[in-house]
């Protein structure tokens, strides 16, 4: 008998691109790197990490575009509305990173770490009591 795997769903802003992913998630982090800031037009982005094999596109596969932000990583976004939702990197080839805000379901998780906090924006204050350091998974 196969285990009952819980699935969670998400989409872009226009809902033309939709995805599902199997739980469990691996981690949740606020990323303060300058690439995330520029790609999202925000002070930081909250990412959730999953096993790459657990991710499936439900609708709009032809709308997904990838932008290479470096030789080692790419951001995935919806061609229609521009929502940047996905991230993949050769530094962690077995993972897919998804923006927490693009889930339709409440994952009932809060960030456990502030990654790349050394490049955080000066115009936000951070009072959460979570570690602020570089993400060791990317320091390989």
Q: CATH number for the domain including 21?
A: 2.170.150.70
Q: Domain limits at 75?
A: 7-30+45-112
How many domains are there within the chain? Answer: 1
* pLDDT at residue 3 is higher than 80: no
What local confidence, expressed as pLDDT, does residue 53 receive? 97
Q: Is residue 37 part of a domain?
A: no
Res 124: pLDDT: 84
What percent of the chain shows pLDDT beyond 90?
A: 78
pLDDT at site 126: 72
What Cα–Cα distance (Å) separates residue 52 from each residue in 13, 25, 33, 44, 134?
Answer: 22, 11, 22, 23, 22
By the 8 A CB rule, do 102 and 10 touch? yes
- Within-domain flag for 60: yes
pLDDT digits (tens, 9 = 90+) for 18-39: 999 999 999 999 999 999 999 9
From residue 114, give the alpha-carbon distance in Å to each of 25, 59, 75, 118, 135: 17, 32, 19, 10, 8
Question: Is the pLDDT reported for residue 132 higher than 70?
Answer: no
**pLDDT value, residue 60:** 98
Residue 56 falls within a domain, yes or no? yes
Residues 47-103 pLDDT 10s: 999 999 999 999 999 999 999 988 899 999 999 999 999 999 999 999 999 999 999
Has residue 125 been placed in a domain?
no
Is 0.75 topped by the overall pTM? yes
pLDDT of residue 140: 44
Residue 92 structure tokens: 């962690």
What is the spatial distance between Cα 106 and Cα 95, in angstroms, rounded to a whole number? 20
66 assigned to some structural domain? yes
The answer as to whether 76 is a domain residue is yes
Task: Return d(Cα 110, Cα 56) in angstroms, integer.
Answer: 23
Judge whether 129 lies within some domain: no
Band the pLDDT of 130: cuts 50, 70, 90: low
Band of pLDDT at residue 1, cut at 50, 70 and 90:
very low
């Amino acid at each position: 008998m196969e285990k009952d795997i819980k699935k969670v769903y998400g989409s872009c802003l226009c809902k033309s691109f939709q995805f599902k992913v199997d739980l469990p998630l691996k981690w949740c982090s606020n990323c303060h790197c300058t690439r995330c800031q520029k790609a999202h037009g925000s002070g930081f982005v909250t990412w959730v990490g999953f096993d790459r094999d657990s991710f499936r596109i439900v609708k709009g596969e032809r709308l997904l575009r990838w932008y290479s932000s470096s030789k080692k990583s790419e951001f995935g976004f919806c061609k229609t509305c521009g929502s940047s939702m996905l991230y993949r990197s050769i530094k962690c080839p077995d993972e897919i990173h998804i923006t927490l805000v693009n889930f339709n379901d409440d994952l009932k998780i809060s960030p456990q770490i502030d990654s790349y906090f050394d490049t955080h924006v000066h115009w936000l204050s951070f009072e959460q009591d979570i570690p602020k350091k570089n993400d060791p998974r990317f320091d390989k």
